[in-house]
Structure 1
Amino acid sequence: MAAAASSTSAAEITRRLTGICGPTFARFAGAADEVAGRAARWVAVPGGPAAAAQVLRLAARHDLTVVPRGAGTKIDWGAAPARVDIMLDTGRLAGIGHQPAGSPVVEIGAGTPLRAVQATLERTGRRLPLDPPSPGATLGGVLAADEAGPLRHRHGTACEQLVGLRWLDADGELVGAGVGAAEVPAGPAPVGLDVGRLLCGSQGGLGVLVSATLRVQPVPAGRVWVVRPVWTPLEVHDLVRTVLADRLDPAAIELDLPATGPLPRRPMPPAEAAARAAHPSMAGRLRPFPPARGGAGALAVLLEGGPADVAERADRLVTLLGGETNAGHTAPHWWRRYPFAPGDTALRIEVPIHDLHAAVYALRDAAGTPVPVRGSAGLGVVHAALPGSLPADRVASILAAVRGVLLARRGRCVVVAAPPAVRQAVELWGEPAVIPRLRAAKEHLDPHRRHAPGRLPGGL
């Protein structure tokens, strides 16, 4: 604890937090209140932006660090902070701003669960084109982790869809900016600073998100998943190239390559039967996805649009892919799910799509066994899982081999989450080139290192 904080008792800090947030919304942290294994000292749940600003001003006066937390779905992602004095829970920074009917954008509080936003918008026939895999994630958590799901193929990540942001800086000042406007707090800004996009993916290391304004769109009237079994990364490469060359305008192209075991059989849901009646031309195409043979994976393509147009494109795609291709109105069971489990070493691989198969082969070769891989094959962004039981030095050698292959292909491999021993033994990002720009942003936005110190690459 820094000198300013040590001169004020813990009980006094608690009393002041309680005065800001309310008697039931400030407390000493418990065993579950941690960030990537680093325990917090206090938990504060401010009731709105003004109260959150007061928490940050209190932290500044007493040289305390602050780490925001949404639903906690990704609280173990990334590096552990050097210190977590106050965990600022954003659960009460929630809500959807009133928008005129037909507005193309919506402002959403950072602590709002994304599924609640979607449910509200669906009542008016609209949606956010976002589908991150973390169940229960808040919008702020999605932005802070720059998390994206299958729809990123057509619509980009949440960070790429931003129209504007409001956040609190290290001194508790509320700042608003449109993405690309480079509106920053007073003082010289780093050259080329795009505040909105720097806050995205910063995991609370540059500011506390208060709200975001994003584009909305009508809910598609038709959706069909076309799924084909696949066995090898090279086969996936050829199929993805075929899909993209045919200009079918897919909303998503997702890959699932399990380490072992077939995909389970699924019964035909009611939507399948209804689709047969609605589109007789596809009656022979729409059927339950059968089990794959011999531990095969799957390539799934999502088509969205008007029902007749989607039906026609799906029919073309089934014919184009051939083999055991099937089409259906429900997603495969693995859709929007990560291939890793708690305790695994979770990896994210990003590489140009024409080199994705080389990256997967390199990972398999380095690991000495098939490794489960899942993600956006149409973009070259996938996740993979290494068993949590692997020794840290073994994980380090696998990473070194994979990163060596990716370096020559303008790709990278990031450790998303890992057991403590692995975190300490490996470089999570493996990309020191990003550090100078981040360091400039950190020094400008958080010069006293109060926001989640150590969460950014290079220990920033």
Structure 2
Amino acid sequence: MTVIEALAEACGPEHVWEAGPADSVDGVPIGWVAEPGGPGEVAEVLRFAAAEGLSVVPSGAGTKLDWGRPPTHVDVLLDLGRITGVLEYAPGAMAATVAAGTSLRALRAYLLRENRRLPLDVGSPGATLGGAIATNEAGPLRHRFGTPRDLVTGVQIALDEGSLERTVDGFDLAHHACGSYGTLGVITEATVRLEPLPPARAWVMRPVSTPREVQQLTEALVASTLDPVAVEADLPGVSGGRPAELAALFEGERAAAVQRAETAAKLLGGGATVEQLPPAWWGRYPFDADDVALKIWGRPSELFAVVYAIRDAAGIPVPVRGSVGLGVAHVALPDTVSPERLEGMITAARTVLLARGGGGCTLLRAPHDLRELADTGGPEPLPPDAARLKLSLDPEDRLSPGRQPDPS
């Protein structure tokens, strides 16, 4: 039986095809594409792939296939777009089990009717729940509610040999699945913690001049009793066309949320205003589709120093945006940046972070040719427990081979 015949038998002939010359995962050519219709079909594809020694890379909406390290090779791209829907939810419950291919937009609309939300406001338009979990992607609300590692309480994963598992002895499977980039198995469903929908929201916006000022104002907000739900900063760089800005979100009953926002505006001073809508950049990444992107994280009090180091290495102020209250931000660079300049910025950021209490700087995405030319220090070694789990679940390294879990 040929590969295409076996995949068609698992998923149906209309949901399998041989990839074309333009099909790739971050520049790596694909052999075949399969669209399973449920967890059982995912397991069947993996069982066949294991028997034939084929590599498999899962995909949701494909919004982050170019994030992280590219795979070394891709025999089968497993498109989970048909595996959708809320599988289990009781009215008024604070948890739901959702199929991995469900878009966060669709899940948001479903929960809106129940006056609930999954506080996962990612910056990838069209992202699926499985994709957000696999990359541990989070947005401004991470300041209060955390990342998928804090919100996912259980998963079902299709493993290399074709079994469907919810637990693995000795490991927190849900925790390790978050940020795994498909290297442990294929997430088919997840149980997530929900929150009540807030009655009202108010944003405080304050123009800023320097990264140091952002740090000082953020520390004042976090140290206060005002309890912001999110604190974000946008430093557009030399070509942003708008001023740098700090913004904080307050939620709750309308009168209380507005009152806390007004108090925060007085605390921040400097022309701070209270608004009922977020700034246009809120919850968006500073990079566009063709840009190079870095992710930096460290102690919130030291993030400003990392931004200065990157700007010094770049020679100009570059766009930076992120959750400054937690010390997480993204940096945008033009795709014309030289490999030497890119190496210098990553090295500068890591040096400062090492000297100031730890953290990290990773190349989140870049054109394939630039990745090949730039020395970014190689992948971080897996923590011992993660390495043991990888060896246990995928000893032949067939699942997203060469990719690396998110260390942040």
TM-score range, shorter chain: over 0.9
Relative to 1, partners in 2 of residues 1:430 and 1:194: Cα closer, same or farther, differing over 3 Å? farther
Taking the aligned partners of 1:334 and 1:194, their CA distance within structure 2 comes to 35
1:41 to 1:431, Cα distance in 2 relative to 1, 3 A: closer
From 325, 348, 355, give the equivalent of 2:302. Answer: 355
Displacement of 1:33 in angstroms is 3.1
Determine the C-alpha separation between the residues in 2 that align with 1:238 and 1:250: 16
Please tell me whether residue 43 in structure 1 is matched to residue 30 in structure 2: no
| Residue in structure 2 matched with residue 385 of structure 1 by the alignment | 332
Question: 8 Å contact 1:165–1:213 — kept in the other structure?
Answer: yes
Match of 2:402 in 1: 454
Please tell me whether residue 439 in structure 1 is matched to residue 391 in structure 2.
Answer: no
| In structure 2, C-alpha distance between the alignment counterparts of 1:440 and 1:319, rounded to whole Å | 52
Amino acid corresponding to residue 316 of structure 2 in structure 1? T
Structure 2 counterpart of 1:415, one-letter code: L
Matched, 1:125 2:115: yes
Match of 2:126 in 1: 136
Aligned-partner residue type, residue 8 of structure 2 = T
The equivalent position to 2:235 in structure 1, one of 252, 257, 269, is: 257
1:75 aligns with 2:75: no
Match of 2:289 in 1: 342
Amino acid at match of 1:75: L
For residue 194 of structure 2, the aligned residue among 206, 216, 241 is 216
Report whether the alignment pairs 1:34 with 2:24.
Answer: yes
Q: Which residue of 2 aligns with 1:109?
A: 99
Change (3 A) 1:17 1:360: same
Alpha-carbon contact 1:236-1:357 (below 8 Å) kept: yes
Q: CA offsets, 1:379-421, max 9 Å, x none?
A: 0000001211011122112211221111112121011001223
Work out which of the residue numbers 331, 338, 344 in structure 1 matches 2:278: 331
Query: Residues 382 and 299 from structure 1, CA distance in 2 versus in 1: closer, same or farther, beyond 3 angstroms?
Result: same
Partner AA of 2:26 in structure 1: A
Secondary structure of the structure 2 residue equivalent to 1:450: coil
Aligned counterpart in structure 2 of residue 407 of structure 1, from 349, 354, 367: 354
Point out the more displaced range, 414-423 or 113-122: 414-423
Aligned-partner residue type, residue 395 of structure 2: P
- SS of 2:166's equivalent? strand
Instruction: Give the SS at the match of 1:379.
Output: coil
- 1:135 corresponds to which letter in structure 2? P
Moved more, 84-93 or 425-434: 425-434
How far residue 219 of structure 1 moved from its aligned partner, in angstroms, is: 0.7
Q: Secondary structure, in 3 states, of the residue corresponding to 2:187?
A: strand
Q: For structure 1, which runs of at least 5 residues remain unmatched after alignment? A: 1-7, 178-182, 264-294
Residue 317 of structure 1: aligned partner: 264
Deviation of 1:429 (Å): 7.0
Aligned to 2:208: 230
Letter in 2 for 1:157: T
Please give the alpha-carbon distance, in whole angstroms, between the structure 2 residues aligned to 1:313 and 1:412: 33
Partner of 1:434, secondary structure, is coil
Distance in 1, matches of 2:22 and 2:59, equals: 12
**1:456: how far off?**
1.6
Q: Does residue 166 of structure 1 match 2:156?
A: yes
What SS does structure 1 have at the residue aligned with 2:58? strand
Return the alpha-carbon distance in structure 2 between the equivalents of residues 66 and 430 of structure 1: 23
Query: Letter of the aligned partner of 1:83 in structure 2?
Result: H
- The answer for the alignment partner of 1:288 in structure 2 is none
Other-structure match for 1:284: none
| 2:180 corresponds to | 202
**Do the aligned partners of residues 433 and 45 (structure 1) sit closer, same or farther apart at CA in structure 2, a change above 3 Å counting?**
closer
Partners of 1:67 and 1:451 within 8 A in 2: yes
Give the superposition deviation at 1:248.
0.9
Identity within the alignment, %: 46
* CA-to-aligned-CA distance 1:1-47 (integer Å, 9 cap, x gap): xxxxxxx6xxx211121121112100101345321111110000011
Match of 1:267 in 2: none
- Check 1:67–1:261 CA distance in 2 against 1; reply closer, same or farther (3 A cut): closer
Contact 1:42-1:87 at 8 Å conserved across structures = yes
Aligned length: 405
Verify: 1:398 aligned to 2:353, yes or no: no
Change (3 A) 1:166 1:428: farther
Query: Which residue pairs with 2:369 in the alignment?
Result: 421
Give matches, 1:239-258, under 5 Å: 239-258=217-236
Q: Which TM-score applies when normalising by structure 2?
A: 0.95
Determine the C-alpha separation between the residues in 2 that align with 1:304 and 1:430: 41
CA RMSD after TM alignment: 1.7
Paired with 1:359 and 1:298, the residues of 2 have a C-alpha distance of 18
After superposition, what is the alpha-carbon deviation per residue over 1:142-174, rounded to whole angstroms, capped at 9, x for unaligned? 011110000000000122111111101100100
Structure 2 CA distance for aligned equivalents of residues 399 and 99 of structure 1: 44
Q: Structure 1 residues 222, 447: CA separation in 2 closer, same or farther (over 3 Å shift)?
A: same
Alpha carbons 1:36, 1:78 under 8 Å: kept = no
